Amino acid sequence: MSWNEEKVNKLKELWGKGNTASQIAEIIGGISRNAVIGKAHRLNLSAKIKTRAATSNQNFENSLEEKNNKIKRGRKSKFKSLIIEKDFEPENPKQLEELDESSCKWPIGHPDEKSFYFCGRSSLKDFSYCKLHLLYAYQPKGKKEEVADKEVPDFIEKKIKSA
């Protein structure tokens, strides 16, 4: 298929009216949608960015941002409440086969060692870990620290040793 002057003019006219590449290909005939897109690109015709959703795009972005802020605030406050709480249930050592959906899946030891097990405490809803291990696992966005620099609060250290 070759582009002649008549087809190029028709492409420009239809493109300017807002027709889709598929519609233009069908109207001109004998060319594909991709050929229309390629020719429009080579002719530097303005990109088609108007869509049905374009008018409400700003509202969508605002509502999405608000929703994300609510989620972030909710998640942060959940963890703050965990830090305040100092009473953790005792460890309930479990092997991999014994884990269920409500068990804490925090590994204790190294998998190659005979004494390896999982914490086994009750995990929090929507999380894989118990309250104590969730404090270790959670790192707020932008607050990542070196593992060596991380200090464990005294009350958590005592709970770990007593468990």
Whether residue 26 lies inside any domain: the answer is: yes
**What's the pLDDT score for residue 23?**
92
Whether residue 47 lies inside any domain: the answer is: no
Distance CA 12, CA 15 (A): 5
Number of C-alpha atoms within 13 angstroms, CB side, residue 43? 20
Residues 34 and 78 in one domain: no
Residues 22 and 84 in one domain: no
Domain boundaries, position 15: 5-42
Residues 151 and 88 in one domain: yes
In the chain, which ranges are continuous DSSP H helix?
5-17, 21-28, 33-42, 57-84, 131-137, 154-162
pTM over 0.85: no
Whether residue 56 lies inside any domain: the answer is: no
Residues 37 and 83 in one domain: no
**What's the pLDDT score for residue 10?**
92
**What's the pLDDT score for residue 89?**
78
Residues 106 and 158 in one domain: yes
Classify residue 127 as exposed, middle or buried by CB count within 10 Å of its CB (0-12, 13-18, 19+): middle
Whether residue 77 lies inside any domain: the answer is: yes
Distance CA 20, CA 131 (A): 55
Into how many domains does the chain fold? 2
Residues 82 and 120 in one domain: yes
Residues 154 and 75 in one domain: yes
Query: Cβ(117)–Cβ(110) under 8 Å?
Result: no
**What's the pLDDT score for residue 148?**
46
Whether residue 92 lies inside any domain: the answer is: yes
Distance CA 26, CA 20 (A): 10
Distance CA 38, CA 113 (A): 61
| pLDDT by 10s per residue, the chain, length 163 | 688 999 999 999 998 888 999 999 999 988 999 999 999 989 988 776 555 445 455 555 566 666 655 555 555 565 555 555 666 778 888 888 888 888 999 898 888 888 899 998 888 888 888 878 877 787 666 655 544 455 667 777 776 777 6
Which one-letter amino acid corresponds to residue 55?
Answer: T
Whether residue 49 lies inside any domain: the answer is: no
Whether residue 127 lies inside any domain: the answer is: yes
